[in-house]
Structure formats: C-alpha cells, structure tokens
C-alpha cells in the first residue's frame, strides 16, 4: 500500500528580512561598482609630493582618514579631455599596481622646458608630462618621462575630506615652461 506523501510548506517569513537585506546590499554594491568604474571614484592620498595642494596628516583621525580624500571624475577619459594644470590620477608607468596623483604640465605635441634645466622636450603623441607640486619629494615625469594617456585614471576635481578642507581643486598652469603647437 502506498502511503500518502506529506508536503511541508516552507515558511519564507523567517528569511524575509535576511533576503531583503541581501537583495538591497547586492543592488547597492553593483550600483557602487558601476559608479566607481564609469563615472567617479574617491582616492585617499598619501605622501607629500602634492603639498601644499593636498595634505596627508590630520591629527586625531584614524588610518586612511588622516590625509585628504579626493573625488576623481572619469568623464574626461572618453576623449582625453584634459587641460594643462589639471590634477590627474594615473597608474605608475613602472608598476601598474601603484597609482599617483600629479599635476598635468604638458599635453601631446607641446614643447616644454624641463624644470631646473635648460633642456627642451617635445611631448610625444599619446603622452603627457606630470609633476608634483612639491618637486623635491615627487616621483614624476622628471624621473620616468612622459606618461601614456592610457594610464590616466581620471581628473581630481574636489577635496571631499576632511570637512574643513572641502573645496574644488584649483588648476595651476606653468605657462612659462610650456609652448603648445
């Protein structure tokens, strides 16, 4: 004789809050990744190469909150819409795991005088010249030459942390050293 099979109803009511939390968390994470990858991201700055534009020590804050945190917009990457004097974020030409933030001094095709020398250099197509504002402590194009535009990650537009330093990043152009063609 066959015994009837008894179906048990699984109550999702106990899992509803957890399922709701997981769905919302995944949605927020995917949205955040998309924003960070396509439109803008934030960088926590370390080092003194961009001093006084950016600071790297705010006493009283823990870990990554000690220095300036900046907003990096990526819309400029679409057609490499940069201007001399912009502050840009880029991957190191010698170690792609490292990222730098420096000021854009010269664009492709520009003739420029290398600082502290009388040497004049033409920036090759598809490259740019970057330097830190604090030249004594900056690893920049004076050390590794013009950088490929493909390494640029975006343009630094605003300081967003600490609260007392929230501001737009100023463009500073070194016109006396650069002649565009």
- Residues tagged active-site: 49, 102
- How far apart are the C-alpha atoms of 101 and 24, rounded to whole Å? 34
Distances (CA, A) of 38 to 32, 41, 133: 10, 9, 28
Quick one: which of 131, 115, 140 has its CA closest to 53? Answer: 131
Taking the C-alpha atoms of residue 149 and residue 93, their distance in angstroms, rounded to an integer, is 11
Q: Can you tell me whether residue 57 is helix, strand or coil? A: coil
- CA–CA distances in Å: residue 94 to residues 13, 86, 148: 55, 22, 12
Q: For the chain, what is the total number of helices (H) and then of strands (E)?
A: 2, 11
CA nearest neighbour of 69 among 173, 169, 150, 181: 169
Strand 99-106 vs strand 167-168: parallel, antiparallel, or unpaired?
Answer: unpaired
């Amino acid at each position: 004789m066959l015994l009837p099979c008894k179906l048990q109803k699984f109550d999702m009511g106990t899992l509803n809050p957890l399922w709701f939390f997981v769905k919302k968390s995944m949605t927020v994470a995917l949205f955040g990744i998309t924003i960070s990858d396509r439109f803008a991201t934030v960088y926590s700055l370390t080092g003194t190469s961009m001093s006084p534009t950016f600071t790297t020590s705010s006493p009283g804050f823990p870990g990554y909150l000690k220095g300036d945190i900046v907003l990096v917009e990526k819309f400029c990457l679409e057609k490499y819409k940069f201007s001399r004097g912009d502050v840009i974020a880029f991957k190191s030409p010698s170690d792609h795991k490292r990222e730098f933030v420096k000021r854009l001094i010269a664009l492709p095709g520009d003739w420029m005088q290398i600082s502290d020398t009388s040497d004049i250099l033409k920036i090759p197509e598809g490259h740019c010249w970057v330097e830190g504002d604090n030249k004594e402590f900056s690893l920049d194009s004076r050390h590794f030459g013009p950088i490929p535009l493909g390494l640029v990650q975006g343009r630094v537009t605003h300081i967003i942390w600490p609260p007392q330093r929230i501001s737009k990043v100023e463009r500073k152009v070194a016109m006396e050293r650069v002649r565009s063609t």
